[in-house]
């Protein structure tokens, strides 16, 4: 019985330490100057926003058709997409279809900016607390 526990602990230990660390997408180097990276990112963002959630290969097809200035290859586009995810410009979605997974890049949902009426602002303010009454 004791030997079974040791095997279970060993298996858990091996499984835990054999995992790869997640890529820190905030430190991705876009391989172009920052100003050019932002212009490429804006073009890719517009493509994804217009055409809905896109896989990497579909994004590359649309990017080639758009003729984005400064985008060198599909690999460079993948680096730019990771860079954009690190900057919170894009989100990666995963769709499970049976035993396979499909990954799609999408833009983050934009919250509508609406003006609140004065009445709604009054409701949000916390009530005024009254101090304790002093006894005479």
Q: What is the CATH number of the domain that holds 38?
A: 1.10.10.10
Instruction: Please tell me whether residue 15 adopts helix, strand or coil conformation.
Output: helix
Does residue 16 form part of some domain?
Answer: no
pLDDT digits (tens, 9 = 90+) for 92-114: 999 988 899 999 999 987 655 55
Does residue 37 form part of some domain?
Answer: yes
Q: What is the DSSP letter of 54?
A: B
The boundaries of the domain holding residue 82 are: 28-107
Does residue 58 form part of some domain?
Answer: yes
Quick check: pTM over 0.75?
Answer: no
Q: How many domains does the chain have?
A: 1
Does residue 3 form part of some domain?
Answer: no
- Whether residue 3 is predicted with pLDDT greater than 80 in this model: the reply is no
Average pLDDT on 33-62 reads: 95
Give the rounded percent of residues in the chain with a pLDDT score beyond 70. Answer: 77
Does residue 88 form part of some domain?
Answer: yes
Does residue 51 form part of some domain?
Answer: yes
- Whether residue 37 is predicted with pLDDT greater than 90 in this model: the reply is yes
On whether the CB atoms of residues 58 and 81 are closer than 8 A, the answer is: no
pLDDT digits (tens, 9 = 90+) for 63-85: 999 999 999 999 999 999 999 99
Does residue 46 form part of some domain?
Answer: yes
Does residue 48 form part of some domain?
Answer: yes
On whether the CB atoms of residues 104 and 86 are closer than 8 A, the answer is: no
Measured CA to CA, the distance from residue 3 to residue 10 in angstroms comes to: 11
């Amino acid at each position: 019985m004791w030997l079974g526990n040791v095997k279970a602990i060993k298996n858990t230990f091996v499984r835990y330490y054999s995992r790869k660390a997640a890529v820190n997408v905030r430190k991705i180097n876009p391989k172009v100057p920052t100003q050019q990276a932002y212009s490429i990112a804006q073009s890719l963002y517009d493509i994804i926003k217009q055409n809905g959630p896109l896989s990497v290969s579909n994004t590359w097809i649309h990017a080639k058709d758009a003729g984005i200035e400064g985008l060198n290859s599909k690999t460079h586009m993948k680096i730019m997409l990771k860079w954009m995810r690190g900057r919170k410009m894009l989100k990666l979605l995963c769709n499970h279809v049976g035993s396979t997974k499909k990954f799609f890049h999408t833009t983050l949902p934009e919250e509508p900016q609406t003006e609140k009426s004065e009445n709604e602002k009054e409701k949000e303010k916390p009530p005024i607390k009254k101090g304790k009454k002093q006894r005479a």
